[in-house]
Amino acid sequence: MRNLSRRQKENRAKTQNLVFSNLQEAVNILKQTATAKFIESVEFHANLNIDPKYSDQQLRTTVTLPHGIGKSVKIAVLTNPDKINEAQKGGADIVGSEDLIEQISQGRLDFDLLIATPDMMPKLAKLGRVLGPKGLMPSPKSGTVTTSLLSTLSDFKKGKFEYKADKTGIVHVSFGKSSFSDIQLIENLKALHQSIEQNRPSGVKGKYFKSAFICTTMGPSIKVDLTAFA
């Protein structure tokens, strides 16, 4: 077992065996544990009472947090030649048709998000093995398959992003940066919790949330009592 640094020991002492029933107190401790030499991301980890191997217990959706997450997103758009100008006007960073498909097939994935028009989806099917593992395959559920390129691009440029539960039923989502104000982090955290609640899968039986934690990139987990979101 590796030895903990003084910073890690101090941070653990602030959080170990504690459960916070007040979001303000939890966020205060969160910011106190952001002691790395860079601006850390802050994350929400929710353990849900779901088994994603069943289709009615899967969680995959999008959310736009009130204050964004402090990250710019490089967006690629795959569309037919007639809509390339529209995508460029909407602020897409990369736009293409058959040429973009060829680039992707060669493993050139220099973008964070891929938006596609419905007519291009059949051509993307063969690239599932390339895009799937990276979480880049467009999907109607995530809003990345669309006929309204301008409005879709506007939403994602404003900070809309997709999240989903992993195969164990846990959601891992960034909700900002340690440099955000307390109120920004609290409002983002509440909006994220509300989004997960509102998209409760139909197959969930009984209690939905098992537990919830927040943390910084390099900091310890901070357990938040679920009543804090009431």
Bigger pLDDT: 94 vs 7: 94
Cβ-contact 145, 106 below 8 angstroms = no
Q: What are phi and psi of 191, to 5 degrees?
A: -65, -40
DSSP-H helix ranges across 81-212: 84-89, 98-105, 121-124, 128-131, 149-157, 182-198
pLDDT, residue 10, reads 74
pLDDT band of residue 14 (cuts 50, 70, 90) is confident
Give the confidence band of 30 by pLDDT, cuts at 50, 70, 90. very high
* Domains along the chain with CATH numbers: 19-68+162-229 (3.30.190.20), 75-158 (3.40.50.790)
**Confidence tier at 6 by pLDDT (50, 70, 90):** confident
Mean pLDDT over all residues of the chain? 93
Residue 63 β-bridge partners: 161
Q: Is the pLDDT of residue 91 over 70?
A: yes
Counting Cα atoms < 13 Å in the Cβ hemisphere of 116 gives 21
- Kindly indicate the confidence band of residue 179, based on its pLDDT and cuts at 50, 70 and 90: very high
Q: What angle do CA 196, 200, 202 make, to 5 degrees?
A: 165
E strand or H helix that includes residue 6: helix 6-15
Query: Mind giving me the DSSP string for 11-33?
Result: HHHHHTT-EES-HHHHHHHHHHT
**What number of CA atoms fall less than 13 Å from residue 61's CA on the CB side?**
16
Of residues 4 and 58, more confidently modeled: 58
Residue 1 has pLDDT above 60, yes or no: no
Q: Does the structure show a pLDDT above 70 at 127?
A: yes
The mean pLDDT of 170-190, rounded to a whole number, is 97
Closest CA to 74 of 52, 53, 95, 54: 95
56-85 pLDDT, tens digit each = 999 989 999 999 999 889 999 999 999 999
Distance CA 219, CA 15 (A): 10
Residue with tokens 């992993």: 166
Q: Is 38 exposed, middle or buried (0-12, 13-18, 19+ CB in 10 A)?
A: exposed
- The predicted model scores a pTM of 0.81
What pLDDT, in 10s, does the model give residues 132-156? 998 899 999 889 999 999 999 999 9
Q: Residue 2's pLDDT is what? A: 61
Block residue for tokens 């609290």 = 186
Q: What percent of the chain has pLDDT over 90?
A: 81
Q: Beta strand 75-78 with 60-63: parallel, antiparallel or unpaired?
A: unpaired
Categorize the per-residue pLDDT at 5 as very low, low, confident or very high, splitting at 50, 70 and 90.
confident
Is the pLDDT confidence value at 12 over 80?
no
Instruction: Identify the pLDDT of residue 213.
Output: 98
Token duo for residue 84: 């390339």
| pLDDT value of residue 72 | 86
**Please, is 125 exposed, middle or buried when counting C-beta atoms within 10 Å of its C-beta (0-12, 13-18, 19+)?**
exposed
